[in-house]
Each structure stands twice: as C-alpha cells, then as structure tokens.
Amino acid sequence: MTGFGPRFRAAVGTRGRLCAGIDPHSELLESWGLGVDAAGLDRFADICIAALAPVAAVVKPQVAFFEPFGAAGFATLERVIAECRGAGALVLADAKRGDIGSTMAAYARAWLDDSSPLAADAVTVSPYLGFGSLAPAFDAARAAQRGAFVLARTSNPDGAGVQLADAGGRPVGQRIVDAAAAANTDGSGTLGVVVGATRAHGLDLTTLAGPVLAPGLGAQGATAADLGAVFADADLSWLLPASSRGVLRAGPDAAAVRSAFETARDEVESALQ
C-alpha cells in the first residue's frame, strides 16, 4: 500500500509517536544566547537539526517564525526541511495555508510538490474557506504520497466559537473530521487532522483512518498522562502528540535538546501502551 499513511506508520513505528516542533520565536532565540536575526536563526536551525532530525519521527517547523527574516528565513527553512528529511525524519510544515482556486493550488505546489525547495512530507491547512477549497492540496498530497493535516479542534480557547458551532446538527469540527475520513477511504491516510491535546475535544475520531496531530504537550499544559483520556475514542496508533517549547527550552546544547526529546517521547510511548 502506498500513500502518506504507510510512511507515517513506518516512521512512528521506528522512532516513536512524538512530533518535535521547531519554533524559533524571539524569546527562545534570546534565551539560547542567540541574536534575533538571520545569523541567530541559522544557528538555532543547526542545533535543532543536529538534536532532532536523527531521532524524531516527525519534525514540525513553524513557518511563521521563519518568515520575519525574509529571504534569509526562507533559506534557513529550506535547509531545515532538506536536512531533516535527509536524516530520516518526516517534515510537517506548520504553515496553516488555506485559500481558493489557483491560490490554493500555488500553496499546494509550494509545500507538496517535488519541484519546490519548500516541499515537505506534509503541511497543515485551514478549512475555513470551505473544506472543498483545499482540494488542490489534497490532490497534490495524494499524488506525491505526502499528507495534509486539516485544522479541526485546535488547542487555543478562541477556536471553540467556530469549531464547536452547529453545522446541520453536528459541530463544524466534526464535519471536518468526517470529510477527512471520507477522503481517506482509499487507505492512503493522506488526510490527517489537528486536534489539541489540552482539553476534551468532543469529536468522534473513530473513522478517520489517518493521523491526528495533537499539539499542546509540554508548555501549553498537556501531559503524556492526559493523552489516553483526551483521545480515548481514537486509534492511538495514529496519534501524534507534539511538543515544541517543552523540548526546546533544554537548549542551546544539542545533546540536552535531544535528551529532552527522548525523555518526552518515552513518556508518550509509555502512556499510550
């Protein structure tokens, strides 16, 4: 069987179910003794690649934190994507793109097409211009055996007003999960969803047959011990908890960052047995 799903399962089967966020926000750069500039960003990337790329199943660079540095930031992001993939990690670009028509098709080419220097193994997308508007990303992902993670029930409190709103007798977030599940009936696992780990989500994930990115572990307050209860209805073999600051605050020493990641990963694996 081909598709992103088998690639995802192979990666987490070997390296464990923890996604390592790479979030070079200014406070973290400063706490590492780095400048909030292109040189500091580049050094931050070096440390994260050395620490995480050889051991994480999935790394998740947050695109927004690279963008303020312009062309230099995107050059560093291209290197993070290429070097992490070269070390055997899947790269999930946390770009949260969402638009219509030719614009969405251009986003899909940027993040999911082999011809792009930004091509990752998967990308996060926002469905709030309509789930169907994301079809160019889904088509590109399926053709390239890559993935797309659709925002369904995010970890921020403000998301509830939209994501839990009634949509014909079912919450908006559930409609998104249902649409992703329908797209995954080919067995490819192309579509995943984003469901925060910080609180009860109220969604039925039993039919998804794709990965569930669960941000919020560590600095946002969720713990490995919470995962079994929060995702009691999900197939835990598809669950991908994510931690960024909770791991990265161990830096700037690469060995310390790797140790923090491995400890958090082992806690997740123990909790999900």
Question: Dihedral of CA 34/39/44/50: which sign?
Answer: negative
Token pair of 140 as six digits:
């590109």
Looking at the DSSP assignment, which residues form a beta bridge with residue 122? 92, 147
Q: For residue 165, how many other CB atoms are within 10 A of its CB?
A: 11
Q: Among residues 79, 96, 109, 245, which one is catalytic?
A: 96
Residues whose CB is less than 8 angstroms from the CB of residue 202 and which lie 6 or more positions away in sequence, other chains included: 153, 164, 171, 173, 174
Hunting for tokens 């921020």 — which residue is that? 156
Q: H or E stretch including 266? A: helix 254-271
Cα separation, 212 vs 235, whole angstroms? 9
- Whether 60 is catalytic is no
Cα separation, 206 vs 62, whole angstroms? 28
Closest CA to 138 of 201, 173, 182: 182
Closest CA to 95 of 9, 194, 218, 162: 194
Angle, CA 61 vertex, CA 58 and CA 65 arms, to 5°? 165
* Residue type at 208 in one-letter notation: L
The percent helix, strand, coil of the chain (3-state, each to 5) is 50, 20, 35
**What is the set of active-site residues?**
96
